[in-house]
A and B are shown apart, each in its own frame.
Chain A
Amino acid sequence: MSLVKRVVLWARQKSPWVLHFNTGACNACDIEIIAALTPRYDLERFGVQLKGTPRHADVLLCSGPVTHQIKDRLVRIYEQMAEPKFVVAIGTCACSGGVFQGCYNVESGIDQVLPVAAYIPGCPASPAAILDGVVKLLASLDPANAPKAEEAPKAEDPAVPA
């Protein structure tokens, strides 16, 4: 890896700005996301900042099983983000649809609509789990830490954290 790439990778790992988007969740995961951003957990230690606009954000935190109503908005928000961008599915509903899986009005998981970089299961996912998921996502940006082909998580089991 060249020096410039190394520096950019370092900067990316140290400065993930997040955007929080509710894709039809019951609000439990959203409350936990907000809790993770409070002074008690102090995510600014890792350079995490909550941003209001998709143009500034690097990571899209999604909670909820993606209702048909929200699907177009979710895709639109994702398209407004600048590359490189990552989607994190927070909560069991966002990972697989959870108890709403196969329901007539939902897409059953973020990965039915967008490419997901990290899955954080839990009902709701606790702030510590969210923190862990984000740290693992950042570590996975380094090609040296990329999972080898045989141990990559299987597509049909989205509940496995990346």
Chain B
Amino acid sequence: MDAQFVYQNLYDLFYMLVFPGLLFLIAFALFAEYVDRKLHARLQHRVGPPWFQPLADVIKLAAKEEMTPRLADRRMFLMAPLVALAATATAFLYIPTWKSDIRYHFEGDLILVLYMLTVPTVTFFLGGWYSRSVYSMIGAARAVMQLFAYEVPLFLCILGPALLANTWSISKMAAFYQVHPAFAALNILGLGVCLVALLGKLERVPFDIPEAETEIVAGSFTEYSGRLLAMLRLTIDLETIVGAALIAAVFLPFGLGLPAAAGFAVYLVKLLAVVCVLTVMRSIMARLRIDQMINLCWKVAAPLGVAQVLIDLVAKGYLPRGYLQ
């Protein structure tokens, strides 16, 4: 083994596990949860939790006893949180950070990331279903029903910008909009629909129907405790950041060419801005019923997504030839 090979592999490991991989992602996700809870508290005229609250919650849960209900399918019950966490952390590696030429990208990573972001919802369904508790099973069924509602508008709204940029790679999309920032203005409609769809994906108010604590206790998570619950909470935190990073990369192409420190700061600000918008939405709205949610997604959000695709197609047709250079 030559030194170059060893160095490359070590750097790969560092990239995946430390920065900007797993460790940075977890740290930033916990900080984002703090921002979310603190802002939510301030909007309710409360003081809110201290900055270390999400970390304390995770450590406490990790140190607690872990129980499996007698009727549950133990293997599925244990696998669900692990797979969800792994899929979310993997998706993050393919999303551009503060520069568009990141280490891992290929033509088609957009589809991979969207697929990886669907995996947690499916595993929440499986985990809840195999818990064999009434509340978990209702929550699991609702999670999947909700998945079919928000997924289509989300995909349509990301398809539009991808068509305009003529690529299936998020990094190349970011690079394209970095060169042509004016084109990003065409995608404002998509940005709005994406934020709504992200609320549905993260199962947050007003779309927290699958875990509605006033109706079905805690939905799919009802029977989870200890380490497994810590993993599930961490997955949702991570999903928030990955979703925000995806939105920032596709719709907010600012500061990508900046030097490392400034670019990093702009990147964090963009992600926190998305998190704050989600928080304000959850603070000012109440929970919808599942049928209202599906109506909203299929009758309003999905047509808007189609409109976004049409806008991008028309713009692409009228743009001068050679705009891709």
- Judging by beta carbons under 8 Å apart, are B66 and A8 in contact? no
Chain B residues with CB under 8 Å of A55's CB are 67, 222-225, 229
Residue B48 is within 8 A (CB to CB) of chain A in the complex: yes
Secondary structure type dominating chain B contacts: loop
A contact residues, total (Cβ < 8 Å): 22
Q: Which residues does chain B contribute within 8 Å of A83, judged by CB atoms? A: 64-65
Q: Which of B46, B53, B224 contacts A47 (CB 8 A)?
A: B53
Interface presence of B217 (CB below 8 A): yes
Interchain CA distance A53-B59 in the complex, whole Å: 19
**Contact (Cβ within 8 A) A12 B213:** no
Q: Which of A22-30, A38-46, A61-69, A107-115 contacts B (4 or more CB under 8 A)?
A: A38-46
Stretch at the interface among B37-45, B182-190, B253-261: B37-45
A154 to B28, CA, bound (A): 48
How many angstroms from the CA of A6 to the CA of B47 in the assembled complex?
27
| A42-86 at interface with B (beta carbon < 8 Å) | 42, 44-45, 47, 51-53, 55-56, 58, 80, 82-84
CB <8 Å contact, A47 and B64:
no
- Contacting residues of chain A (78-121) with chain B, CB-CB under 8 angstroms: 80, 82-84
CB-CB < 8 A to B49: which residues of A?
Answer: 44-45, 47
What residues on A are CB-neighbors of B63 within 8 Å? Answer: 8, 11-12
Q: How far is the CA of A154 from the CA of B53 in the complex (A)?
A: 35
Alpha-carbon distance between A87 and B65 when the two chains are bound, in angstroms: 16
Flag if B50 contacts A45 (CB, 8 Å): yes
| CB 8 Å contact bits of B212-251 with A (1 = contact, 0 = none) | 0100011001111110010000000000000000000000
Q: Contact residues of A with B, CB < 8 Å?
A: 7-8, 10-12, 14-15, 39, 42, 44-45, 47, 51-53, 55-56, 58, 80, 82-84
Instruction: In the A-B complex, list the 8 residue pairs whose CB atoms are closest, starting with the nearest.
Output: A11-B59, A14-B56, A83-B65, A82-B65, A11-B60, A55-B225, A82-B225, A52-B217
Residues of B within 8 A of A (CB): 37, 41, 44-50, 52-53, 55-57, 59-60, 63-67, 135, 213, 217-218, 221-226, 229
Contacts A7-B59, A39-B44, A47-B50 known; list 19 others, CB within 8 Å.
A11-B55, A11-B56, A11-B57, A12-B60, A15-B53, A39-B41, A39-B45, A44-B46, A45-B46, A45-B48, A45-B49, A47-B53, A52-B218, A53-B135, A53-B218, A53-B221, A55-B222, A55-B225, A56-B224
Give me 23 A-to-B residue pairs in the complex whose CB atoms sit less than 8 angstroms apart, sorted by A's number. Answer: A8-B60, A10-B56, A10-B59, A11-B56, A14-B56, A42-B47, A44-B41, A44-B49, A45-B50, A47-B49, A47-B50, A52-B217, A53-B221, A55-B223, A55-B224, A55-B229, A56-B218, A56-B225, A58-B64, A82-B64, A83-B64, A83-B65, A84-B65
